[in-house]
A and B are shown apart, each in its own frame.
Chain A
Amino acid sequence: MNFIAASIESLGAKVAGWGTVGYGMFAFLVQAVLLLLERSTWNRATFDVVIKQVYFTAVQILHVFLGYTLVISWLIITIILTTARDFGLTEFASEMTIRVLVLELLPFLTALFIALRSGSAINTEVALMKVNNELDALAHCKVPPMQFEFLPRLIGGVVSVVALAGLAGLIALLMGYFTIYGVSTAGFEPYTQTIAKIFDFRIVAGLLLKCVLFGLAVTLIPVTAGLETPKKLFMVPVSVLRGMMRVFFAIVAIEVVSLALKYI
């Protein structure tokens, strides 16, 4: 009996904990959105920090990201094409390539890439700012941390994931064409028709929404996890661990829901 009571108590505590974390993230997002709607937010200072964030998150890693996208795309396209040829389904190779790579795999890998590189850095930095009282110091100086530190990171994350996923998709489309049809214009018409057939409004809107949610997940969750850190230096690694686990589950959940909505 005691075992059942303890299990229920532990489960209840976990659910309450998840609820608190979820509410914290939702409240933070609402606060950020409300701030975005305020005219005073759109000043030169905030804009400059957003530009810096986009530079650090997307531009600085562009060469690595492009190399990684080229290798992944080439591998996946080759696997799809070889398998399609083996089964006599070559005519479906281009559609399969676009659906697997451009709609699913590349946005997912882009989000993971940004999460591992920038999400973990954001989580650590916010946790250290909290532990070192830097946020209190900013508040004392009446410099709003939301406007100066957090909002630019959220916008930078969303813009970076959308832009990099879009760029990766374009590269995959080009590579798909050259791998399937070679350097010839013969396949241009069927290939563009396949693209037009797949990319209807619903799919494009869904892809954009998914990338925006990925962008939010890789920035919002690390920021809120960092802010939850108790003022003890040894809690920083724990905060990053928790934050990154949440980011991973959020990215997987977004991908699973997106797939279910599209194909089930």
Chain B
Amino acid sequence: MARVALDLPLRANLSALDNIALIPLYQRHYDAAESVRQAQAMLDQLGHAEIALLRDPDMTPSQRFVTQLARALILKRPRLVIDRPGAMLYDVPYPAFIRQLAAQAGMTGTWEIFDFDWNQALYQA
């Protein structure tokens, strides 16, 4: 299971691209150039290619979330859990934002969202 959660932050001194590229680099032993290419392709797919060179402290909450999501997606695990998105996405109407990301071309698998009961109304809107 891959998780996107507030308690699984990005490496603060690495760019969005490097944070995502760590996965192919260390898990699948691709070289640095290929890992960066895969990471960039993942950001392109999510429609946020422009955040590639930003580091965690320079990102908005939604940009940070997209990077964390890209890192989770590139893990290619069968389940993707988004844990309490409201804690991470306080600058955008988040159910719509997540739906928009999930609707991007080439997104596969099921995304499970775990949120507080009292936020249920947001998803029905």
- Please report A residues at the B interface, Cβ cutoff 8 Å: 43-45, 48, 125, 128-129, 132-134, 136-138, 140-144, 147-148
Contact = CB atoms under 8 A, between A and B. Distances in A.
A143 B9 contact: no
A136 B27 contact: no
Nearest to B1: A140
Contacts of B32: 44-45, 48
Contacts of B13: 125
Given A45-B26, A136-B8, A148-B26, A141 B75 contact: yes
Contacts of B71: 141
**Interface secondary structure of B, over-half rule:** loop
Contacts of B92: none
A48 to B, nearest CB: 6
A137 B10 contact: yes
Contacts of A45: 25-26, 29, 32
Given A44-B32, A48-B32, A125-B13, A144 B26 contact: yes
A125 B12 CA distance: 10
A134 B22 contact: no
26 contacts: A43-B29, A44-B31, A45-B26, A45-B29, A45-B32, A48-B32, A125-B13, A128-B12, A133-B7, A133-B9, A134-B9, A134-B10, A137-B7, A137-B9, A138-B11, A140-B8, A141-B23, A141-B27, A141-B71, A142-B26, A142-B27, A142-B75, A143-B22, A143-B27, A144-B26, A148-B22
Interface in B38-68: none
Contact of B8 (A133, A142, A147): A133
Contacts of B75: 141-142
Interface of B: 3, 7-13, 22-23, 25-27, 29, 31-32, 71, 75
B3 A134 contact: no
Nearest to B72: A141
Contacts of B9: 132-134, 137
B23 A143 contact: yes
A68 B31 CA distance: 39
B89 to A, nearest CB: 18
A48 B26 CA distance: 12
Contacts of B25: 45
A143 B23 CA distance: 7
Q: Name the residue in B23, B26, B27 with the highest tally of chain A Cβ atoms < 10 Å from its Cβ.
A: B26
A129 B75 CA distance: 21
A147 B11 contact: no
A34 to B, nearest CB: 18
